């Protein structure tokens, strides 16, 4: 039996390597689909807002002042904000709890922006006047944010909560780990069985 197990292990290792590679790629592709879709509809909101400003709209025209502010610590709703060239808030549909919305100052330094978006292992070509990032303003709050600089210097930012996306990613991770472990064990038992029957 020891000889069978040793031979089974030797035959199973290449199968395990292939299985692991396929599972990792499937996990990565699905996780990236989840994360990148989290930037919708912010891309459209920020780009359309910047285009409106470039065509003569005023910042107040982009935000409905009669609607309640979106509290980033509670709501899943997308939000929109306009900042001047120095990063000072001009208009916003969101708040951070009871505090006004304010993005980190470094966000408005275009020298840090990249035309290739490489967060979490994927590269996408994006417009040079645009950046996309994950922002965690508090321990329990993470946002997917898109910022576009319009031609006159103002910035339009749009974001929404990553809570549901991260819940899906956690479920995916748990399911992928179970599937990998179950399949790995199953293939090893199959190889042992085939050797014991003399079919390998």
| pLDDT score at 115 | 59
Task: With a cut of 70, list the residues of the chain below it in pLDDT.
Answer: 115-125
| pLDDT score at 105 | 87
Backbone phi and psi for residue 155, each to the nearest 5 degrees, phi listed first = -115, 140
Instruction: Return the ∠ at Cα 48 (arms to 42 and 53), rounded to 5°.
Output: 125
| pLDDT score at 120 | 46
What kind of fold does domain 39-161 have according to CATH? Beta-Lactamase (3.30.450)
| pLDDT score at 123 | 54
| pLDDT score at 171 | 98
41: nearest Cα among 67, 72, 80:
80
| pLDDT score at 4 | 85
| pLDDT score at 126 | 81
- Dump pLDDT digits (tens) for 101-135: 999 989 999 988 875 554 445 556 688 899 999 99
Calculate the alpha carbon distances from 184 to 7, 9, 14, 156 in Å.
16, 12, 11, 49
| pLDDT score at 153 | 94
| pLDDT score at 118 | 47
Instruction: Give me the helices (H) in the chain, please.
Output: 2-37, 42-54, 163-196
Give me the residue label for tokens 């969101």: 94
């Amino acid at each position: 039996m020891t000889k069978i197990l040793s031979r089974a292990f030797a035959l199973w290792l290449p199968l395990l390597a292939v299985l692991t590679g396929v599972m990792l790629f499937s996990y990565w592709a699905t996780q990236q689909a989840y994360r990148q879709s989290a930037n919708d509809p912010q891309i459209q909101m920020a780009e359309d807002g910047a285009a409106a400003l470039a065509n003569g709209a005023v910042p107040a025209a982009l935000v409905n002042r009669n609607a309640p502010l979106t509290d980033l610590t509670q709501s899943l709703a997308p939000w929109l904000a306009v900042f001047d060239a120095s990063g000072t808030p001009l208009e916003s549909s969101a708040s951070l709890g009871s505090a006004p919305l304010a993005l980190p100052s470094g966000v408005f330094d275009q020298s840090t922006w990249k035309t290739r978006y490489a967060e979490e292992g994927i590269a996408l070509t994006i417009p040079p006047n645009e950046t996309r990032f994950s922002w965690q303003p508090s321990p329990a709050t993470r946002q997917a944010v898109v910022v576009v600089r319009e031609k006159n210097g103002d910035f339009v930012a749009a974001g929404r909560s990553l809570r549901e996306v991260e819940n899906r990613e956690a479920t995916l991770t748990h399911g992928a780990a179970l599937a990998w472990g179950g399949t790995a064990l199953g293939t090893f038992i199959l190889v042992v069985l085939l050797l014991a029957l003399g079919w390998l």
